[in-house]
Every structure is written in C-alpha cells, then in structure tokens.
Structure 1
Amino acid sequence: MEIDKNVTYQTVVREIGNEALDFSEIKMVIFFGEEAPDALRPSCYIIDVNQIHGEIKPDMFLVIDNAYYRITAVGNEVERNLQNLGHVAVSFTGDKTAGLAGSMYVEDKGYPVIKVGSEVSIQSRE
C-alpha cells in the first residue's frame, strides 16, 4: 500500500473473529490488532497495527475497500487505542456525539462488507 498525504491511517484486515458479524445487529464493527485479548478476539476484525499520521476528526472518511463513510464523531481515546493496539469500535449510527471514548461514529448508510484482505483507511477526502 502506498501512503497518500490525505490518508491519516491505513491497514488491512488479517482475520475475522467468528462472532464479529454478530455486531451488525447494533451497527458496530470492532477492529483490534494482533494482540487482541482472547476474550475479545472472536468479536473482532483483526488488523495490522500501523502508525497514525495526523489527527482523526469528524468530516474525515472511514474507507473500507471502496465504501466511504463520513466520520461524525470521534471519542477521545480513539487515536491512542488505534496507535497502540489497533483497537477502535466503529459505530455506523451517524451519532454526532462520541458516547464512548474508544469509539468512532460514522454516517448510517449501510453496514460494510468486510473480508480478510479488506483495506481500511481514514482519510481527509473522498
């Protein structure tokens, strides 16, 4: 993957926990790095932990393969957790206020299809 100046974070899904899709009912995706605790791993999409290049903020985009979701709110622990653990819960509800410190909220426009090998990024424009 080449790094683009508009890209704040970029990673790849390496593994999908056998319970990860259960969270579609509440419109949530949980990403976690390889060090995900055993108790959480089945619920997670396991990703490579990579460097964050800049601040993650509302009106940027979460991109999963070629699906763009405008970010509506960012919890105050998102950057630190993503940087250190590859961990972030993404809520596809469009909430404008970050109710949970470790969660990022994006527009409600359908639950994403995520597979092993899916590219995930956070970037400043479509």
Structure 2
Amino acid sequence: MGILEKLPNLTILILFEEAFKENTKILVFSKGGFPSLEFLVAYNMNEITEWRIEEGAMPSLCRLEIAHCSRLTTLPNGLRYLTNLRELTIIRMPRELHRRIEEDGDDFYKIQHVPSLVIGEPSD
C-alpha cells in the first residue's frame, strides 16, 4: 500500500483478495495517501480483519464499495473523515457489521454523513 498510496494521479483502485500476502490482516490507508483517489472497491478480502483510514487519507474519495470481506466486522473509524464521500455500497458482509451500521448501531456515526448508502443483505 505504501507505494500505491503515493501515486499522485491514481483515481480508481480495485482491491481483490489476491492483492495482499496471505498473512496480511490489517489494511492501513495513511495520512496524505491516495490524494486523487475517487473510487475504491474492496472485494473478497477475506484475510483482512481490521481496516484503518487515517485522517487526511483519500481526501478526494467520493465512491466506496465494500463487498464479501468475511472477517471485517466493523467499518474503519476513519470513514468519518471522508467528507467528499457521496456513495457507499456495502454488500454481502458479516451480519455483525450490518448490525453495527444500522441507524442505532455502534458504527452508524462513521457513515451518517454519506448521502447515498446502499446496504445489501449480509453474507451469513
């Protein structure tokens, strides 16, 4: 991620499970990383158990899709810093994550600023 997030003109990034080594458990988007990224897809990343987004990462992100990440049970706290995020799609994620992002859930505050929320059925 360290090399990718320094690419100044990268606007679209699609991450699949093959993108990381088997022992990668934590995904980190650093402050100042991905300055021009507008669209991010995280798909089928079943080894990832934690995702961190530091304040100042992905300042241009406007669309985010997260799907089929079976071990990710909470959304990154840093989503609340993504003030340009206009569309968030969450599909086939663990039931626990779905409970946390309901309007009265523990993680709803992280995404309540996003105008368009598309939440599909949980995976289990």
The two structures share one fold, judged by TM-score above 0.5: no
Taking structure 2 as the reference length, the TM-score comes to 0.26
Bigger proportion of residues as strand: 1
